[in-house]
Chains A and B, each alone.
Chain A
């Protein structure tokens, strides 16, 4: 489409050309809306050759990549890698597909060009959908869709919206419809036949999805739509790269007729299949050819014309066997149909023969599908768990500390798992040469794989994913929140407007800080102190200003140093709830917080002193509630994790010296990051 518009432009003369050039400058400068670069066009052109000549397709995209690398344009590299990934998908080379998609996605983080990011997400989405990871596929494709929409690339939008629509089926019919409609809209904006056909097929699929519950009117609508689509595809067939889509339109139309009101319109049904077959032969599209034969065979079986059906199925099998590779799934299906026909004819000898063959191919098909399940599991593991794997290693370390034997055992299982993964790949390569071997390998392999995956999901994911949420909970004690709100309510009731507003602001600020900081890896000491102040001042409000506090930093402390967020607050909470709150009213509470820095040890020492009732007295009251034990536990966990990096990390709680009076002192060693 972009090529076309450029040709048009040249024809219409230089003036307009300059104008458009200026316009495009304007866009790149201000709106970040990007037109495809010349390298992208080259890659796209190469990619469009994927059906006609896959090797030259690959070559051209690789050339484009070379060019992008030479010119050192990251966004073009990303786009080329994305196209390479998609090319590999077409060739069913999962490993290369994964590698290219990963590379594209990784590189895309280094650029802020929308188009490149969109391409990378598309490649990732395509990969995820290839390996049956629907939720992830949707995430990536939706991201890509938004980006392409932003970049104004309607042709890509049309295709991605179609893919999204397919992915939402059958779980969410409203979304299927929404995205199919959006695909149509983008396709009409893009104007090219390829996108329009693609989008129309998606919308058609949405129409047929609803048929079972629908009425005759709905069926008619779908038929009408597919008729239009088929006519459209035929008319623009020269401009359509994916010729198979033309055949798909006819196949769908025929299928619709077969589902239509009984008796079905046989002529229209066969006619459309005939057309599909013609297209299949013309462009050598096997999938369409086979579907056409299969549908016809089914129809004749239903009708009771067994001879015709048998002839068709046998033709299908012959055709399949003449191809350079075997499709066990299809062969099994064809023999299954033949079996059915033989049974209906009551020809039991034929039935027996077909059944033997069916059993053979079905077994092979079954093996193949477990194989692909495993392969997809491999790929899912490979592509999405790379980051997790690092964390997993940390986890392994922890386990070693806790229980060396167990840790080694787990590492052993992991290692064996990895070895088997490699072997599974190795055998896959040899699959077509030596099928027997892999079958034996399979069983042992799958068991180990299941163990490995289970272990990973349960131990690793659960632990890492929930930590952030738990951290948030440890900071925001519901009890504290609602009591603070209760206090503010009280001020309003007593018409103390100014303090009410001021405390409300403090409360809002604290909530915001905790929400933001719990997501971060590090914050500056300044930020931590500011959060603490807000927190303590709200606590003062609750205790009716019954205590004072000081925060002091030694001169040596650089307040912009970076530390893990929100480590100190739980200790202040303890000091208030268990030290100061149960105190006699006559004594005024005091919390002193002091920071000193040990530069050489990369350690920030935080000392928290209170003059409350002290540890022993507090234990007698046994006021520990659920939240508190939770927050202590989480802080404990976090600090012991940090201990791996910095041996000083940790804390000590002790009673204050007798001479100083009662109270508690906490020395907290925080690693400086």
Chain B
């Protein structure tokens, strides 16, 4: 059972979340407290030391990020909830921090909880928090790749290409490392965008700056000597992009 605190300033939405938790994971979640404000949340988290916190961004007297800065105890899983904060959502994605959009979808809630169970250590990683702070304040130039053993912080220009098979994505880095992440490529397509990155194929996304050559027939040679096919539908767009680059 995860001891859980819900930080949310609208009562009905709090109730909705607890009902949905009851429905989707009745034997895993035990709600031990609710908090409506930054002040309350900091007090409750430090005192009750929860395993899991659902954190709304916009609170009466501040934001969820204020809460994170003020707490002393940070050994818990964290899931943000938000109605609409595009800026924050992007930062979450780059920092591999979980979030749910309101109104909350039962399926997404279920997957989020399942993902927590997969993680080895029941802590909010410090790396992730630092990255989140960084990504909130600046345009992200790095990304967190969460794997079973560790959280890898990778600079975007270190990525040569990504390849997917099913729901796994492998990142090929300049230093020769390969990192495999249990998320589909679609997740990263929004973060690794043109003009620096381009999805040339259903299962390939490449760093445009790492291209050595490409052929009209539709093969791209990368600077790690790997070659990647361009799908027929993407060809025209790709050639146009390359022309604009030159």
Stretch at the interface among B46-54, B101-109, B110-118: B101-109
> Are B83 and A486 interface neighbours, CB within 8 A?
yes
| Chain A CB within 8 A of B71 CB | no
Known contacts A478-B83, A581-B60, A625-B58, A490 near B101 by CB under 8 Å: no
CA of A478 to CA of B16, assembled, Å = 19
* In the complex, chain A residues whose CB is within 8 Å of the CB of B10: 483, 486-487, 542-544
| Chain A CB within 8 A of B13 CB | yes
Cβ 8 A contact of A490, one of B9, B13, B83, B84:
B13
* In the complex, chain B residues whose CB is within 8 Å of the CB of A625: 58
CA of A481 to CA of B9, assembled, Å = 16
* In the complex, chain B residues whose CB is within 8 Å of the CB of A541: 12
> Are A491 and B61 interface neighbours, CB within 8 A?
no
| Chain A CB within 8 A of B62 CB | yes
| Chain A CB within 8 A of B19 CB | yes
The distance from the CB of B123 to the nearest CB of chain A, in whole angstroms, is 29
CA of A141 to CA of B13, assembled, Å = 52
| Chain B CB within 8 A of A472 CB | no
| Chain B CB within 8 A of A19 CB | no
> Are B9 and A621 interface neighbours, CB within 8 A?
no
Interface size, chain B (Cβ < 8 Å): 21
14 A-B pairs within 8 Å (CB atoms) are namely: A478-B83, A479-B83, A479-B84, A487-B10, A490-B15, A490-B16, A493-B19, A493-B20, A494-B16, A494-B19, A543-B10, A544-B10, A582-B61, A623-B58
> Are B102 and A482 interface neighbours, CB within 8 A?
yes
| Chain A CB within 8 A of B11 CB | yes
Q: Which residue of chain B has its CB nearest to the CB of A493?
A: B19
**Residues of A478-531 contacting chain B, CB below 8 A:** 478-479, 481-483, 485-491, 493-494
Known contacts A478-B83, A581-B60, A483 near B11 by CB under 8 Å: no
CA of A625 to CA of B62, assembled, Å = 11
> Are B61 and A494 interface neighbours, CB within 8 A?
no
> Are A487 and B13 interface neighbours, CB within 8 A?
yes
> Are B16 and A489 interface neighbours, CB within 8 A?
yes
Taking residues whose C-beta sits less than 8 angstroms from the other chain, chain A's interface range is 20 to 34
CA of A171 to CA of B11, assembled, Å = 54
Known contacts A479-B58, A621-B62, A623-B62, A494 near B83 by CB under 8 Å: no
> Are A491 and B103 interface neighbours, CB within 8 A?
no
The distance from the CB of A256 to the nearest CB of chain B, in whole angstroms, is 28
> Are A494 and B15 interface neighbours, CB within 8 A?
yes
Known contacts A542-B10, A544-B10, A486 near B16 by CB under 8 Å: yes
* In the complex, chain A residues whose CB is within 8 Å of the CB of B16: 486-487, 489-490, 493-494
* In the complex, chain B residues whose CB is within 8 Å of the CB of A479: 58, 83-85
> Are B19 and A478 interface neighbours, CB within 8 A?
no
> Are B62 and A482 interface neighbours, CB within 8 A?
no
Q: Knowing that A581-B9, A581-B60 are A-B contacts, what are 14 other residue pairs whose CB atoms are under 8 Å apart, sorted by A's residue number? A: A478-B83, A479-B58, A479-B84, A482-B83, A482-B101, A486-B10, A486-B13, A486-B16, A487-B12, A487-B13, A491-B12, A493-B19, A494-B16, A625-B58
CA of A481 to CA of B101, assembled, Å = 12
> Are A490 and B12 interface neighbours, CB within 8 A?
yes
**Residues of A570-619 contacting chain B, CB below 8 A:** 581-582
Known contacts A478-B83, A479-B58, A491-B12, A486 near B103 by CB under 8 Å: yes
> Are A478 and B84 interface neighbours, CB within 8 A?
yes
Q: Which residue of chain A has its CB nearest to the CB of B13?
A: A486
CA of A156 to CA of B61, assembled, Å = 67
* In the complex, chain B residues whose CB is within 8 Å of the CB of A581: 9, 60
* In the complex, chain B residues whose CB is within 8 Å of the CB of A491: 12
CA of A131 to CA of B61, assembled, Å = 59
**Residues of B1-31 contacting chain A, CB below 8 A:** 9-13, 15-16, 19-20
The distance from the CB of A330 to the nearest CB of chain B, in whole angstroms, is 33
CA of A482 to CA of B62, assembled, Å = 19
In the A-B complex, the 5 residue pairs with the smallest Cβ-Cβ separation, listed nearest first, are: A490-B16, A482-B83, A478-B84, A490-B12, A489-B103
> Are A544 and B83 interface neighbours, CB within 8 A?
no
The distance from the CB of A618 to the nearest CB of chain B, in whole angstroms, is 10
* In the complex, chain A residues whose CB is within 8 Å of the CB of B62: 621, 623
The distance from the CB of B108 to the nearest CB of chain A, in whole angstroms, is 13
The distance from the CB of A76 to the nearest CB of chain B, in whole angstroms, is 50
* In the complex, chain A residues whose CB is within 8 Å of the CB of B20: 493
Q: Which residue of chain A has its CB nearest to the CB of B8?
A: A486
> Are A482 and B103 interface neighbours, CB within 8 A?
yes
The distance from the CB of A360 to the nearest CB of chain B, in whole angstroms, is 35
